[in-house]
Structure 1
């Protein structure tokens, strides 16, 4: 039985509305407010009094209502069973309005459903990594990883929106092709590759300088200089054993890839792998980690996994680090073109000020934004990187454009010198997963818009 509050309006009310436009507007507002209260009652677990037509969009009043972007109706965890009172009309209406509140062209958007409007309201921020640890997603990951053979396309689809931290080592190995999808072969392959890395250490690293060329000696010295500079604001990376592990990984990679050798910036790319694979053996905050707590065998296994995964990653973008780094220059050019097409006023202002994209974006591409965001967000960003697979270099352009245009309004007000300083010291220290998800969400939408027009970046 429906409530009298939600029954149709009386005939005399309709006559009043027709006679007085201001009265009609007031009555419409009253209807809407009543509707809004009813919907909020539903979302908070109360029964739903009959059919209600939602005629305006409003922001959720409670952050708990915001759920996975893969669902169109966003109910809190306590609403299980409370929707029994909803009839089909209400369900259809809620779903259509919820769909309308997101970008209609992208019904399969992969990341957070937080919009820029939502983020500007007083919406409770989810706990760190909440998107990756949603219980339904955990079940999907567990199901995908428990099979005899992992279907990598399904795993990529899940990983794109974030991987639960304790599953990240396994998922990253699979996404990079380091560990085989077949579970029966996985342990044997990892054991063999770790032994192969040990052989490389003995062959290339644990030898006297008299057995090295002058170029190799200089390269090792440069690596030894760069390792203490790697992620300097995280005390864990200042430990001597951590720096020694990085040095071994980077030197062996450079020796085995003579076309590029060691290039500054590759040291940054090794750090996410080191932290993720160490997380299998060290618990708690990275601030409390100590390499002294690990046996040499575990350290060797972690190094091996880092080395092989770094190699897999760089195989898809090695021209980023060959002579003159043509891959980076190409991406920076595409970034400039994309920004021009997305936000012409910002592009024109930067050009009028004489700012070249290479002056700030070279480091972004060289280090894949590791130096631009808080380190605790890097692993989440790399979930998306690795899920992109071979398509990563192309998708990076959209991530960088989304990242840059986060400050579109600010940039239009700055002159050359201030703009350079701002872009080289971006205010991301207080960023949470929310801001990062916004960048990835925007990048995905732009990629969806432009991918069917590949010539849009070729002018």
Structure 2
């Protein structure tokens, strides 16, 4: 009798455990489906690095003579060149494809050969993964009309350097998505820029108001200070180009005029559009190698793209810069919600977000990260389009909380010094991709639920 009761009790226990496990599996599967649904339709940022992973002291990820000369818009379709581009620019681990099987058949008796074979298998696998992504860019750009939403989705995770000038023009709305109209529009806008320079810049000080004279002098002072750690920007002709771009923009936008920090925003455009004509590292460039016509076209493209960018955030640069102040407040609230210990520590130490974050919003982090990473960051900026100002809050929150543990150990003075000289000088694409991935997740969580940020 006791044995029978014991058996029944054992059966009930097994049945209960089975039901519990089944329920747990069901909840897990439902959670997994929810996450998949959340991310459906958008490739998760940070998985694929399009930019080159290079030593910031030795190279620039903006351009390579081998890549850009042999991988032009005209010959981008050849598979051999395509493989060379990926091998040079992509470093990731993946399963080997059929080409690695050929490597296995090569006989070798030394461990060096074995290591070489393993390395080749890894590189070949990376080609198989990232070649598909590069081909998506080519396919997206090859049609008579580019689908902007698809291009933005691709560009969010980084743009191949050889396509960056064209894609940036299109994302900003400077160049039309219709390929038949593109050259004509660019030609007309470049001539319009020349007319503006002749009308506003190429005149004497006697023809300017006192306010315009002072503004031009301030721009002339700021241009030599622009990206001081990149020697290219210390060339006199480069500074003159910046001066023309900034002064012409300021005259045509009297609501804001010139504000310190806008000079930094012109530099990514200048480097990207110069990369269509100059090879190698930006540190070895000389603008004097270009004709006057090419320099004029580059300036015009910079001017119009800068204008398009600032059109979406003009209240960042009007009197008292209310747009920036509003976003700094949102950043403070977001940090309080995401990482309360850091928020509380900063408040206890009396550190105001305006003391460090104002410059971040004013210059869009250009002064906070190595310059060779700026164009990769701006791929994401421009892919966001009109939503960029709000998305900046999440990027800067992710950027700040990279040092969450460190900040909680510092007093007021130490925090101010640390945040003004952040240790990003050795950053690569990996660290930047982590910041962007975290920002994307927080944006997904909070942006559609503003009540989560309410006090």
**Pairwise same-fold verdict (TM > 0.5):** yes
Distance 1:445 1:274 in 2: 31
Unaligned runs of 5+ in 2: 1-28, 49-86, 93-125
Partners of 2:43 and 2:153 within 8 A in 1: no
Q: CA deviation at 1:451?
A: 2.0
Q: CA deviation at 1:313?
A: 0.1
Compare relative contact order (CA 8 Å, sep 6+) and give the higher one, 1 or 2: 2
In the other structure, the counterpart of 1:306 is 302
Are 2:44 and 1:110 aligned?
yes
SS at match of 1:136: helix
Q: Deviations over 1:293-337 (max 9, x none)?
A: 000000000000000000000000000000000000000000000
Distance 2:359 2:156 in 1: 24
Distance 2:333 2:247 in 1: 36
Distance 1:319 1:457, change over 3 A: farther
Distance 2:37 2:373 in 1: 29
What is the aligned counterpart of 1:254 among 250, 255, 273?
A: 250
In the other structure, the counterpart of 1:228 is 224
Partners of 2:222 and 2:260 within 8 A in 1: yes
Q: Deviations over 1:395-435 (max 9, x none)?
A: 00000000000000101111110011000100000000000
Q: CA deviation at 1:128?
A: 6.1
Distance 1:197 1:374, change over 3 A: same
Are 2:99 and 1:165 aligned?
no
Distance 2:47 2:177 in 1: 31
Partners of 1:201 and 1:248 within 8 A in 2: yes
In the other structure, the counterpart of 1:273 is 269
In the other structure, the counterpart of 1:435 is 431
| Count of residues paired in the alignment | 350
Are 2:383 and 1:387 aligned?
yes
What is the aligned counterpart of 2:189 among 180, 193, 196?
A: 193
4+ aligned runs moved over 3 Å, structure 1:
102-109, 126-133, 455-459
In the other structure, the counterpart of 1:290 is 286
What is the aligned counterpart of 1:139 among 127, 132, 135?
A: 135
Partners of 2:153 and 2:383 within 8 A in 1: yes
Q: CA deviation at 1:110?
A: 2.7
Q: Deviations over 1:324-361 (max 9, x none)?
A: 00000000000000000000000000000000000000
Distance 2:188 2:44 in 1: 36
> Any residues of structure 2 matched to 1:30-429 within 5 Å, and which?
106=39, 108=42, 110-113=44-47, 134-429=130-425
Q: CA deviation at 1:235?
A: 0.2
Partners of 1:109 and 1:445 within 8 A in 2: no
Partners of 2:175 and 2:186 within 8 A in 1: yes
Distance 2:91 2:191 in 1: 37
Unaligned runs of 5+ in 1: 1-95, 115-125
Taking structure 2 as the reference length, the TM-score comes to 0.74
| RMSD between aligned residues | 2.0
Taking structure 1 as the reference length, the TM-score comes to 0.74
SS at match of 1:199: helix
Distance 1:211 1:129 in 2: 54
Distance 1:369 1:135, change over 3 A: same
Partners of 1:176 and 1:309 within 8 A in 2: yes
Distance 1:339 1:257 in 2: 34
Partners of 1:128 and 1:432 within 8 A in 2: no
SS at match of 2:426: coil
In the other structure, the counterpart of 1:55 is none
Partners of 1:109 and 1:444 within 8 A in 2: no
Q: Deviations over 1:130-187 (max 9, x none)?
A: 5899321110011011100000000000000000001000000000000001000000
SS at match of 1:165: coil
SS at match of 1:166: coil
Distance 1:208 1:129 in 2: 51
Instruction: Please state which structure has a larger fraction of its residues in helix.
Output: 2
Q: CA deviation at 1:455?
A: 3.2
Q: CA deviation at 1:129?
A: 6.3
SS at match of 2:367: coil
Q: CA deviation at 1:457?
A: 3.7
